[in-house]
Structure 1
Amino acid sequence: MTRVLVLVAPGESELAGLDGLPGEVEVQTVSAEADLREALPHADVLVVTDFRTGLLERCWPANPKIKWVHATSAGVDALLFPALAESDIPITNAKGIFDRGIAEYVLGAVLLFAKDTMGNLALQSEHRWQHRDTEMIDQRRALIVGAGSIGGEVARLLKAVGMQVTGIARRAREDVNFDVVLGNDCLFDCLSVADYVVITAPLTEDTQGLFDDRAFAAMKSGARLINVGRGPIVQTEALLAALQSGHLAGAALDVFEQEPVPEDHPLWEQPNVMMSAHMAGDFIGWQTALGEQFVANFKGWQQGQALFNQVKK
């Protein structure tokens, strides 16, 4: 009997899509800290859908029998506490599930700014008929910071509508989805010419607070920022200053340093900011797709195959 433990957020339903697991697998879903603490020492596989800071680390047993941890997200930074990060336990993620949804979100945000959709809505709310010219996105320059799976899909869609797309990664490389992929050392040079800067990078020591006053000052005047990566990559106060000064023309933000964003936060009142609740990749049916992806990985693992989507710690 293989025991699969699923950690979900309080009030969250059980992970869908697990019906395909073999009959000899026992699945237990928990959300309360006491239940997690009791169940963890007996679990063979842990599936995490709830990334509450510190919860898993507090409950982590001294001698876990867990053979594999799976995260139902692309980013796994919340799971990399020392006891797990330094162990031999493999961690897999949900790479591929959210790529297309996030890419469509980014394309929508680009069009939102280019066609001044927020201006249309503001004028409509005032019952005002006001003709304006709007921008074309053909041949505009997009810089994607984070040229991984999600960044590659974003690049593919943006290139399809005629944009020039540069990627930033740890090292320069060739990638068919991009016009060019450059190394991290080229970031500031690229910021100065990009019309749209899209963040798809994971949160690491190198990316934490990467977009600060200096980075925003390096960006082209009138550029727009789109963050679908991780909130703490962007220093919020620095972004606000760049927006309020007029140096940046707008920002579309799906992730934030603090989530939920406080009701009295000045970002809510910025006329050139579009905000969403960490949902860029969450398409209708995404929960089932996550469960089915885990089942496929589990079946291969049971047959002795290597886990796919394994994350480097």
Structure 2
Amino acid sequence: MTDSSTPRVLVLSGEPPPGLESLEGQAELRLVGEDRLAAELPAADALLVWDFATDALPEAWPRAGGPRWVHTASAGVDRLMFPALVESDTVLTNARGVFEQPIAEYVAGWVIALAKDFAGTYARQRDRVWQHRVTERVGGTRAVVVGGGPIGRACARTLAALGLRVSLVGRTARADDPEVGRVHAFDELDALLPEADWVVCAAPLTERTRDMFDARAFALMKRGARFLNVGRGPLVVEDDLLAALRSGRLGGAALDVFREEPLPADSPLWDAPGLLVSPHMSADTTTWLDDLAAVFVDNFGRWRAGRPLRNVVDKKLGYVPYATPADGGHR
């Protein structure tokens, strides 16, 4: 540390984040932008990546020195999985615990909106058309949630509460999971897709999961099934999804994440039949910034006291391994 009592903490952000006032006097907080990051990193003890959409860190990472702890105000850490950080002794943590339930609620809203054709209702209201229609039941339909971490589990629990029959797919199989009963392995996904009415992607982005939803995966789904992605954009081959929607293989879809963000105005996804587009906002609620700051402040206290940190990323896996309460873990 630069000083035993006041560690130097860089905050990568364009403006001061809310909720860090309690750290005054406990740390030397230095707000930096991308232009100053390379110059400031070598002398930093810790780094808060508040601007979690940045791509500046790999080039700015120092060859010597640098933070012993990096915390990102996001659930996904794929932007931080560059070799110099992965191979270093730097501890990486994320904001797990903030986003799970809001994303699960967003997914549930999508399922209901698609099943009940809210878009069609809004369109007819706009055009002052009174047209009685029938819609689909949600209860009793089958959902496959891909991603066995806390976001996927929250989605599975929330959808089950709506009466859906839910299968959860994770990295490894588990026959007696205390939260969801059975967890299927990724290798079982092909057998589950043909029976699913809803496929929810909440997986982390790793080399194994990149492009996992492609033409082959969509061809396995039953005709008319719906696909929802709240994971990462590169999990989906967007041209293949577009073709599946246009052909009628998929009955609808909803995307909150994209390979390129913001989604370009000329992207054909804007006009894809049956597709709901939202601008990477499924986790963002009225209190999310304060909630993100609270996770960092709590971890800062642990770090200063030499206690185990929350949400430590396994840099070989590319995410925080999930431990159920029965395993002695936390959500």
Q: TM (normalized to structure 2)?
A: 0.91
Q: Cα deviation per residue 1:251-275 (whole Å; 9 max; x = unaligned)?
A: 1100001111110111111241111
Distance in 1, matches of 2:17 and 2:225, equals 40
2:262 aligned with 1:257, yes or no?
A: no
Distance in 2, matches of 1:254 and 1:300, equals 33
Partner SS state of residue 192, structure 1: helix
Partner SS state of residue 312, structure 1: coil
Q: Cα deviation per residue 1:272-303 (whole Å; 9 max; x = unaligned)?
A: 11111111000112111111111111101211
Distance in 2, matches of 1:158 and 1:225, equals 14
Distance in 1, matches of 2:161 and 2:178, equals 12
Aligned partner of 2:3 in structure 1 is none
Alignment of 1:128-143 (within 5 A): 128-143=129-144
Distance in 2, matches of 1:13 and 1:41, equals 22
Partner SS state of residue 268, structure 1: helix
2:42 aligned with 1:37, yes or no?
A: no
CA contact 1:20–1:292 (8 Å) conserved in 2: no
Distance in 2, matches of 1:2 and 1:249, equals 54
Taking structure 1 as reference, are residues 241 and 179 closer, same or farther at Cα in structure 2, changes over 3 Å only?
A: farther
Alignment of 1:293-304 (within 5 A): 293-304=295-306
Partner SS state of residue 251, structure 1: strand
Taking structure 1 as reference, are residues 114 and 177 closer, same or farther at Cα in structure 2, changes over 3 Å only?
A: farther
2:8 partner letter: R
Deviation at 1:178, TM superposition (A): 2.8
Deviation at 1:66, TM superposition (A): 1.1
Match of 1:282 among 281, 284, 288: 284
Aligned partner of 2:11 in structure 1 is 6
Partner SS state of residue 198, structure 1: strand
2:201 partner letter: I
Distance in 1, matches of 2:180 and 2:133, equals 32
Deviation at 1:49, TM superposition (A): 2.2
1:306 partner letter: P
Taking structure 1 as reference, are residues 221 and 82 closer, same or farther at Cα in structure 2, changes over 3 Å only?
A: same
Aligned partner of 1:145 in structure 2 is 146
Deviation at 1:65, TM superposition (A): 3.3
Distance in 2, matches of 1:24 and 1:107, equals 41
CA contact 1:166–1:179 (8 Å) conserved in 2: no
Aligned partner of 2:49 in structure 1 is 48
Q: Cα deviation per residue 1:60-94 (whole Å; 9 max; x = unaligned)?
A: 11112311000111110100110001111110000
Deviation at 1:22, TM superposition (A): 5.4
Identity over aligned pairs, percent: 49
CA contact 1:155–1:177 (8 Å) conserved in 2: no
Give the unaligned 5+ runs of structure 2. 1-5, 316-331
2:298 partner letter: A
Aligned partner of 1:217 in structure 2 is 219
Give the RMSD, CA atoms, in angstroms. Answer: 1.3
Taking structure 1 as reference, are residues 255 and 7 closer, same or farther at Cα in structure 2, changes over 3 Å only?
A: same
Distance in 1, matches of 2:77 and 2:150, equals 14
Partner SS state of residue 28, structure 1: strand
Distance in 2, matches of 1:252 and 1:177, equals 26
CA contact 2:245–2:273 (8 Å) conserved in 1: no
Aligned residues: 309
Deviation at 1:14, TM superposition (A): 1.8
Q: Cα deviation per residue 1:139-187 (whole Å; 9 max; x = unaligned)?
A: 1111000011001111111111111110111111133443531011101
CA contact 1:21–1:299 (8 Å) conserved in 2: no
Aligned partner of 2:73 in structure 1 is 72
2:12 partner letter: L
Alignment of 1:231-270 (within 5 A): 231-270=233-272
Give the unaligned 5+ runs of structure 1. none
- Shifted more, 119-128 versus 52-61: the winner is 52-61
CA contact 2:73–2:95 (8 Å) conserved in 1: yes
Aligned partner of 2:313 in structure 1 is 311
Q: Cα deviation per residue 1:34-64 (whole Å; 9 max; x = unaligned)?
A: x112211111000112245641111111112
Partner SS state of residue 79, structure 2: helix
Distance in 2, matches of 1:32 and 1:68, equals 18
2:231 partner letter: G
Distance in 2, matches of 1:208 and 1:54, equals 18
Distance in 2, matches of 1:61 and 1:300, equals 25
Distance in 1, matches of 2:308 and 2:64, equals 24
Distance in 2, matches of 1:295 and 1:139, equals 43
- Shifted more, 225-234 versus 261-270: the winner is 261-270
The 4+ residue runs of structure 1 with deviation greater than 2 A are: 49-54, 174-180
Alignment of 1:51-200 (within 5 A): 51-52=52-53, 54-173=55-174, 174-200=176-202
